[in-house]
Amino acid sequence: MKAPLARLNDPIYAAIRIVAGLLFMMNGSTEAIRRVRGRQVADLASIAGSSRNSREFGAGLLIMLGLWAGIAAFIASGEMAFAYFIVHAPQGGWPIQNNGQLSVLFCFIFLYVAARGSGDAVSVDSLLVGRPVARVRATNASMISGSMLDDLIASMTERNHRSSFIRSSIQQRSAIRHQDTRAP
């Protein structure tokens, strides 16, 4: 049975990507604004915090726009996993105990975006390429029909024959050249 919203798969994914990127970008910019308003002293922790804020802002912007979203989401996912285990996990075992829900949620949403990429709808990547960005789809051996499997085996066999023919002709040419260099 097909899911009722299956036809809206790409637009829903685009909405999730855009909203998650926007929220991540806003999270980074809010922290930066708090630092400026609080006029904190520029020490090492402040510099590291501003670096984190700019990474969050930049990654959120790229994810929201759909420009290199897979790479940006992979980096953001790793950053959120790191934040959870360094900041939140020592305060308790479960995310509900240590206020790490947002880090965990961002981590897994961005991991999904990293796996899926920018998507086909509403992304700068698809505009730059001029067509929908190709997605890697898992192919199960049971999904391949018999004729497709036969065609695949035939093409692999043909390619193998071509490569062995090329290899033998190269060996023959090298043998001829070797004989020509020996002749006085």
Q: 155 and 119 in one domain? A: no
Cα gap 180→184, rounded to integer Å: 8
Side chain identity, residue 80: M
Nearest 5°: the CA angle 116, 121, 122 is: 110
Question: Following CA atoms 59, 97, 82, 101 in sequence, which dihedral angle do they give, to the nearest 10 degrees?
Answer: -20
Q: 160 and 108 in one domain? A: no
Alpha-carbon torsion (6, 9, 15, 16), positive or negative = positive
Of all residues in the chain, what percent carry a pLDDT higher than 70?
Answer: 59
Q: 58 and 116 in one domain? A: yes
Chain segment 120-173, per-residue pLDDT in tens: 778 888 888 765 444 444 444 444 445 555 665 666 566 555 566 666 666 666
Cα gap 3→13, rounded to integer Å: 15
What length is written for the chain?
Answer: 184
Give the global pTM. 0.62
User: For residue 85, is it within any domain?
Assistant: yes
User: Per the structure, how many domains does the chain have?
Assistant: 2
Mean pLDDT (whole number) for 12-36? 83
User: For residue 134, is it within any domain?
Assistant: no
Q: 116 and 59 in one domain? A: yes
- On the question of pLDDT at 16 being above 60, the answer is yes
Residue 21 structural domain: 6-129
Give the residue with greater pLDDT, 69 vs 154.
Answer: 69
Q: 166 and 103 in one domain? A: no
- On the question of pLDDT at 108 being above 90, the answer is yes
Give the residue with greater pLDDT, 33 vs 48.
Answer: 33
Q: 70 and 12 in one domain? A: yes
Q: 99 and 61 in one domain? A: yes
